[in-house]
Amino acid sequence: MKAVKEEVLDEKGKAKKVDATVTRVSPLKNSAIVSVGSARTVENWSSMARQDGDSVPYSKEEYSAIMKGMFSLDLAQLGTFASYNKTGFKNITQKLKTDALSQGAIEIDDPFVKDSKGNAQKLVQLNRNIRLQRAKDTIQALKTISGGAMQTNNMSDVTPKFIILVSTTSGNHPFSHIVTSEGMNLDRVALNLDGLKEVLKDYKEQIVGTVFIGKRSGFLNEYNDELRELLALGDAYPTIQLGTINETIDAYCTQLENQFS
């Protein structure tokens, strides 16, 4: 929520301040990134150098783990803003709405929300090319995403090593259990390919276009043959395309160009 005061003209043409509080439910959502299997920490010692005086020793706990998470991008809400006054919906002020419309944005009917007279509320939507580019930039960022604490000492590659990209007609996230752990100590990572096949079949009617699966060479190579078998599942399943991580991201973005309205 952002609370601001916006200057408008009253009926006498004099400037006055009005409440311009806006809220926004982000089109981009993500889950927590969690370890797939159990992770054991180890204690390591380091020292902090100081310009004056002795160095200061300190200890830190470190671990190595395979992480998993989900993200979704609501293409219908991307670059689309409502101006009617309802919590979570008023995400553009009248001034910003006027400015956007003067710069090429359009007004469209809200397919779900109507006013007291039964008329569709209006949404302000940015140019298609702008919205498409925002979507592609967000997904392409997966190639170079970085992060994590203490990167000076713990530089590591956190880009995806296994990824599934798919367009759906619903907001469900059915792939959360595809990467699991197994073994006595739950420390061995496994691909639940039977679960993946089940989801692909159950959600076929909600899947739009191809399901893109990418895997980095050297990561879980023992599943390579089983992954290739997904290409011949038959008509009861959606079309599947396998590739490297970057190939998969590029291929999905190409499909997105044809799906984006």
Q: What does pLDDT average to in each consecutive run of 10 residues of the chain (261 residues)?
A: 55 64 86 86 86 86 88 93 76 86 92 88 93 96 85 82 94 87 74 94 95 95 95 94 97 94 78
Domain that holds residue 202: 128-261
For residue 13, tell me if it sits in a domain. Answer: no
Tell me the C-alpha distance between 80 and 89, whole Å. Answer: 11
For residue 160, tell me if it sits in a domain. Answer: yes
Tell me the C-alpha distance between 175 and 70, whole Å. Answer: 8
For residue 148, tell me if it sits in a domain. Answer: yes
Global confidence as pTM: 0.85
For residue 214, tell me if it sits in a domain. Answer: yes
For residue 216, tell me if it sits in a domain. Answer: yes
Q: Which of 177, 146, 203, 214 is nearest to 69 (CA)?
A: 177
Per-residue pLDDT at 83: 83
Per-residue pLDDT at 16: 60
For residue 74, tell me if it sits in a domain. Answer: no
Number of domains in the chain: 1
For residue 181, tell me if it sits in a domain. Answer: yes
For residue 116, tell me if it sits in a domain. Answer: no
Distances (CA, A) of 218 to 155, 199, 223: 20, 26, 11
Asked if residues 223 and 178 have their Cβ atoms less than 8 Å apart, the reply is no
